[in-house]
């Protein structure tokens, strides 16, 4: 069994309605359902029934990150394999739009979910006239095409990376190494994307962002201006990442969850060789690419420590 893609992310929101208004009216996602206090949102280019779930919570976090799988009949075997590694697992039966799903926690408190069947039908009145496009464009807000990836800082780095690679089919595409030589960040993907999840060594659980795909840098630059007009100036960017080659922009939604706009990544093939960076090389390249690296790395605590160690 292999994971196919990041299917949806559930964000904890202390103001669900404000987050909904921002993500729908400014970002242009479509509200597709409400259930049990949660609001389900979808990007126009996502085939799954929803891309994000906004749920009541006390602080910014990803309440769970859900993955589609190619062979749900193998979930029992995955459950056993996780249990053999001492990983806590359980079956979630109450989430809307889906059958019971296997959930697990790798020790840091981050909840992951493997879907046993994913509803992938377009919904009613916003269906596109283009047969290969799930929803119609509405011309409202940023309108990112789809959910792209997530970035998780964790004190369970080794376990998380190992489980994703050894049980779920992920591969390392890029790796950032600390001065000690141990990996700081793994960019992991299970398809041709450069990453479906970035896992970063951190002191605790530090969910960094969920990323939504933007088709072009030009679209992102115009979106940055729109965000300024609407009172949500970007936290960082738009700018150029060194790893992933991607163009990016970070903005905090009203409940404090960081949303990344992500464009212009490269794609990988099965024979891809993982690319290696030292923290020093990565920061030097980001500086050369024209934005202040401390802006980016101050939001990534452990990396900042590593930088200080390099500087010292």
Partner 1 sequence: MNPPTLAAVELRCPDLERSRAFFVDVLGLLESDTADGEVSLRCVGESAHTSVVLRASDTPGLAAVVLHDRDGAENWPAATSDGHQLRVVGERQQAEPYQGERVILNQPTPLRGVGIEPRRLAHVGLTATDPAAAAAWWQEQLGYALRESVADDEGELLSTLSTTPASCEVMLVRSANDNGGGLHHVAFTVDQRDRIADAALLFAELAVPVEVGLGQHGVGQLSYIYFFEPSGNRLALIHSPLWWDAGAPPVRWPPESWRRALWLWGAPPPSSFLEVHT
Q: Are 65 and 160 in contact (CB under 8 A)?
A: no
Query: Can you read off the two tokens belonging to residue 9?
Result: 């992310």
Of the residues 97, 104, 164, 247, which one makes contact with partner 1 according to CB under 8 A: 247
Q: Which is nearer to partner 1, 83 or 289 (CB)?
A: 289
Which residues neighbour 47 within 8 Å (Cβ) at sequence distance 6 or greater? 120, 134
Q: Residue 16: which H helix or E strand, with range?
A: helix 16-21
Q: Which is nearer to partner 1, 2 or 217 (CB)?
A: 217
**Residue 286 vs residues 75, 128, 178, 278, 280: alpha-carbon distances, Å:** 41, 39, 16, 12, 10
Asked if residue 216 binds partner 1 (CB under 8 A), the reply is: yes
Give least dist CB 312 to partner 1, A.
24
Asked if residue 144 binds partner 1 (CB under 8 A), the reply is: no
Asked if residue 292 binds partner 1 (CB under 8 A), the reply is: yes
Give least dist CB 179 to partner 1, A.
23
Of the residues 228, 267, 309, 310, which one makes contact with partner 1 according to CB under 8 A: 228
Asked if residue 28 binds partner 1 (CB under 8 A), the reply is: no
Of the residues 185, 234, 261, 283, which one makes contact with partner 1 according to CB under 8 A: 234
- What is the dihedral angle through the alpha carbons of 170, 85, 114, 41, rounded to the nearest 10 degrees? -90
Which parts of 262-291 interact with partner 1 (CB under 8 A)? 285, 288-291
Which residues neighbour 12 within 8 Å (Cβ) at sequence distance 6 or greater? 55, 56, 57, 58, 59, 60, 61, 62, 63, 255, 257
Give the residue among 39, 41, 46 at the shortest CA–CA distance from 13: 39
Of the residues 233, 276, 298, 309, which one makes contact with partner 1 according to CB under 8 A: 233
Give least dist CB 236 to partner 1, A.
8
Residues of this chain that bind partner 1 (CB under 8 A):
216-218, 221-222, 224-225, 227-228, 233-234, 237-240, 247, 285, 288-292, 295
């Amino acid at each position: 069994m292999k994971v196919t893609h990041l299917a949806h992310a559930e964000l904890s929101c202390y103001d669900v309605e404000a987050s909904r208004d921002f993500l729908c009216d400014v970002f242009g996602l479509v509200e597709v359902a409400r259930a049990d206090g949660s609001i389900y949102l979808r990007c126009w280019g996502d085939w799954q029934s929803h891309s994000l779930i906004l749920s009541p919570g006390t602080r910014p976090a990803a309440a769970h990150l859900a993955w589609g799988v190619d062979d749900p009949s193998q979930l029992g075997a995955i459950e056993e394999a996780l249990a053999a590694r001492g990983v806590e697992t359980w079956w979630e039966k109450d989430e809307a739009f889906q059958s019971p799903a296997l959930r697990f926690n790798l020790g840091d408190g981050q909840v992951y979910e493997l879907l046993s069947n994913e509803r992938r039908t377009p919904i009613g009145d916003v269906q596109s006239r283009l047969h290969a496009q799930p929803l119609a464009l509405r011309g409202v807000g940023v309108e990112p095409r789809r959910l792209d990836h997530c970035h998780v800082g964790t004190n369970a780095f080794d376990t998380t990376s190992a489980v994703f690679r050894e049980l779920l089919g992920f591969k390392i595409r890029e790796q950032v190494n600390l001065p000690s030589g141990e990996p700081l960040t793994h960019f992991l993907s299970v398809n041709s994307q450069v990453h479906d999840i970035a896992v970063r060594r951190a002191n605790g659980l530090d969910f960094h962002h969920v990323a939504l795909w933007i088709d072009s840098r030009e679209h992102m630059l115009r979106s940055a201006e729109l965000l300024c007009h609407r009172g949500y100036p970007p936290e960082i960017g738009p700018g150029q990442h060194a790893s992933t080659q991607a163009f990016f922009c970070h903005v905090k939604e009203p409940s404090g969850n960081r949303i990344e706009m992500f464009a212009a990544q490269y794609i990988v093939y099965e024979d891809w060789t993982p690319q290696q960076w030292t923290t020093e090389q990565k920061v030097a390249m980001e500086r050369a690419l024209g934005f202040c690296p401390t802006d980016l790395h101050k939001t990534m605590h452990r990396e900042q420590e590593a930088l200080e160690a390099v500087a010292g």
